[in-house]
Amino acid sequence: MSQTTQTIALITGGSRGLGRSMAEHLARAGTDVVITWRSRQDEAEAVIRTVEAAGRRAAALQLDVGANATFLSSPHAWPRRSNAFGAAQNSMCW
């Protein structure tokens, strides 16, 4: 039996600038994408729509990498957003 592996990229700051460009480029190249965003949910949602339009799966998590307290809340947000990637990703270590 053959097993396929899909690459998933995690991009911090993926809602704008270089992070957004990277997310869109990777999606066009066949990679699923998880981005983080700090303050512009609308921009993060636009990236998700672009990635999905390219036929890839995507998720966005609010995370301020400069405030480590937000790292503790992010794992709790993951199960609500992980349905795009299936149950296997719910076992990720944080």
User: Which has the closest alpha carbon to 32: 84, 91, 81?
Assistant: 84
Domain ranges within the chain, ordered by starting residue: 8-84
- For 16-47, the pLDDT digits (tens) are 999 999 999 999 999 999 999 988 999 999 99
Tell me what pLDDT residue 88 has: 43
Q: Which fold has domain 8-84?
A: Rossmann fold (3.40.50)
Tell me what pLDDT residue 3 has: 61
Tell me what pLDDT residue 51 has: 96
Quote the crossing angle between the two packed helices 41-53 and 17-28, to the nearest 10°: 20
